[in-house]
Structure 1
Amino acid sequence: MAYLPSDITSKKLLIVCRDVGGYIKRLSDYLAQNNEVTFVDLSAQRDEIRFLPGKLRRWLKKFLTVRAAHRQIQKAGKVDSVLIINPAQIDIALVDQAMVAAQQTIAFLSDGVARLAMPVAQLARFDKVYTFDDADAREYGFRKLSNYIYELDTELETTREYIAFVVMAGKNRIDVLGRIAAEFDRLGHTNYKFLVQSKVVENASPGITFFRERMSLDEVGDLIRRSEILIDIVRPGHAGLSFRFFDALFYRKKIITNNPSVMNYDFYDARNILVIDSDHPVIPTSFLVEEYIDPPVDVVQKYSMNRWAGEVFAPLADDQR
């Protein structure tokens, strides 16, 4: 996919989020090439205050994080647009402060409404509300917008060191992942890399490796490039597509998923994307041996950061909806 510079230029933008995966920082850096961007990340690592007991230490860490964010927003001054990712995850005082500073206010939900820790009605205060979830867009009248391709370097080398790769957090999808591992084992392919950020779960598949320290986006990207197939296991309560689908598009990787909503997307091709049953995953040998089929270039470009930012930050006066 060819590099596209941002069509959004010479704007003052404020982005407020909890960027656990590092995806929003990539967007911020991209926009900062041609705009003045203030990036406020409440998940950013802070120095541990080890001499305090655990509960007090956590409270102080949150206090210092929120205070630093207040100062960042105050320093930014008036901005053309503020984008708040998953506002339910953000301290309400920070949301209020950011919205007062902006001519245009935008929310993007990369989590399902079923997991939203705030009344849906509170989102009505935003000028535009986007969601990555088709079902939520239909039910609540939000604007549908997928995640995006966050990588720009088209010269990165890819290999097939691993037959399949996944990294995910939490325990609630480990049973599905274990069944996928068993299916690869049955097919005689054991060179997969299945990583779960969690405490070790007893009786989990021996093909799963557990770890505790968060991986950087660069580390994840390195493993993606070294893998033939990516695995996506949808979170309960989600129907939207994770970033892994857009990694697959960019790097020309096949993907195995239990999220049937991908079949409604314009880049869906059964030769590249295998939708499985969570309880009884079956991987046809043909899916493993047949070559990747490139989607049309214009389809892939639709999921670029340029297109994403152009939609989100377009002034309401230019909005055709």
Structure 2
Amino acid sequence: MKICIISFDFWNYDEHIAATLRKKGIEAHHINIGAYKHKNFSAKITNTFSKVFLQKNIKNERRQQFILEELKKLGHQDQILIINPELIEEKFHLEIKKFTSRYIAYLYDSLARCPAESILHLFHTIYSFDSEDVRKYGFTKINNYNYLEKLKSEKKPEFDLVYLASYDERLKALYKITAKLEKLGLTYQYVIVGKKTWKKNLLKMVSFTGESISKKYQTRRVQQKNIPTFYQKGNVLLDLVRENQSGLSFRIFEAMALGKKIITDNEALKNYDFYKPENILILNKDLSNLNSMFFETLYEPLSDDIYKKYSLDNWVETVFKLK
């Protein structure tokens, strides 16, 4: 069997799908359109000019051409999975679909955040992690997956709480939470990644405050292989959901593998079989239930059956109908 995964894999989670399929003896490939780069400096300048004066991003067009070029090398695929298909124009979807017998999509953003309604008719099956979209559009529900084996940290955590995320609207909630932690005498560290983080670093330079060990802003993403190491630095992980989204982030499953507790504003977690109030604190809007007690109690281990249910191995068997 031949399977291809196509995605804009910013955090490098999707490569784990292909690797898991290969372990099952399947010929699996991952086309990461996010890894596409301009061929030379001249091409980069041309694209910049086009974006500024013509409002056209040539790189996006070339990324999609890149997908077709790679598929021509790979040949016909039994299944092709597109993750977040709104990143690809319909004309390219139609060409990509010619390379496979089963064309499937996985949405790990809600349609409210990343509209894709105009192209969804092209897919044989659409999976979504967002319960509201599943109810509204009749998608097949599936969560993100646990790509990690169970890990146990031998070191004592450096911080009471850690957080790693993109530079977005969640910062407002983050600052309120860290202010409350400071009042409680608790320690934390957060790393915020994105192109716009230069604004925060510029403010620090102007104010001569320097870089705090607890607050880091950087344009370069954290390598996916280093994410578990970062989370092991915290006693508790913070999980903040994006606006108009209720699906489970990878942070939930990373905490599961690391045996870490979670503080979150995602009320949907109450509906899952792994939910234990000893392990997961769902914040009140006014943060009135954020106190020291949650940090002082131990993590309650989950059963092996629960862990296996949310594993990547089970995920690929479900999505690609390998069972």
Q: Which TM class, normalised by the smaller chain length?
A: 0.7 to 0.9
Q: Does 1:40 align with 2:38?
A: no
Q: Aligned pair in 2 of structure 1 residues 292, 133: CA closer, same or farther (>3 Å)?
A: same
**CA apart distance, 1:279:** 4.2
C-alpha distance in structure 2 between counterparts of 1:175 and 1:140, whole Å: 31
| 8 Å contact from structure 1 (residues 158, 251) kept in 2 | no
How far is 1:142 from its partner?
0.7
1:152 CA drift (Å):
3.6
Q: Note the C-alpha offset of 1:291.
A: 0.5
Contact 1:180-1:281 at 8 Å conserved across structures: no
- Counterpart-to-counterpart distance in 1, 2:96 and 2:155: 41
Answer with 250-259 or 124-133: which moved more.
124-133
> Which position in structure 1 is the counterpart of 2:122?
125
From 132, 137, 147, give the equivalent of 2:134.
137
Quick one: which of 162, 169, 172 aligns to 2:159? Answer: 162
| Residues 281 and 236 of structure 1, relative CA distance in 2, 3 Å threshold | farther
Q: C-alpha distance in 1, partners of 2:318/2:155?
A: 30
Distance 1:177 1:39 in 2: 34
Deviation of 1:86 after TM superposition, in Å, equals 0.9
Please give the residue correspondences for 1:142-291 in structure 2 after superposition, counting only pairs within 5 Å: 142-152=139-149, 154=151, 159-190=156-187, 192-197=188-193, 198-199=196-197, 200-201=199-200, 208-280=215-287, 282-291=289-298
* SS class of match (2:127): strand
AA of the residue aligned to 1:88: E
In the alignment, the residues of structure 2 paired with residue 178 and residue 67 of structure 1 have an alpha-carbon distance, to the nearest angstrom, of 41
State the alpha-carbon separation in 1 of the partners of residues 260 and 149 from structure 2.
16
Question: Are positions 1:17 and 2:7 aligned together?
Answer: yes
- Percent identity (aligned): 27
> Is the CA contact (8 Å cut-off) linking 2:152 and 2:259 kept in structure 1?
no
How many residue pairs align between the two structures? 302
Shift of 1:54: 5.7
SS in 1 for 2:216: strand
Amino acid at match of 2:303: P
Question: Which residue identity is paired with 1:46?
Answer: K
Aligned 8 A contact 1:16 1:41 in 2:
yes
Give the 3 Å change call, closer, same or farther, for CA 83–159 of structure 1 in structure 2. Answer: farther
Equivalent pair of 2:47/2:59 in contact (CA under 8 Å): no
CA root-mean-square deviation: 2.3
Distance change >3 Å, CA 94–CA 32, structure 1 → 2? farther
Could you say if the C-alpha distance between residues 280 and 144 of structure 1 is closer, same or farther in structure 2, counting changes exceeding 3 Å?
same
Q: Secondary structure at the match of 2:112?
A: helix
Answer yes or no: is the 8 Å Cα contact 1:115–1:237 preserved in 2.
Answer: yes
Q: What is the CA–CA distance in structure 2 between the aligned matches of 1:50 and 1:279, rounded to whole Å?
A: 50
Aligned equivalent of 1:99: 97
Partner deviation per Cα, 1:27-76 (whole Å, 9 max, x = no partner): 11221232111211111152574342562487454344333221111222
* Larger deviation, residues 162-171 vs 251-260: 162-171
State the shift of 1:158 in Å: 5.9
Following TM superposition, by how much is the alpha carbon of 1:156 offset from its aligned partner in structure 2, in angstroms? 6.9
Q: Which has the higher helix share?
A: 2
The answer to whether the 8 Å contact 2:105/2:123 transfers is yes
Amino acid at match of 1:18: F
**Residues 48 and 229 (structure 1 numbering): CA distance in 2 closer, same or farther, change over 3 Å?**
farther
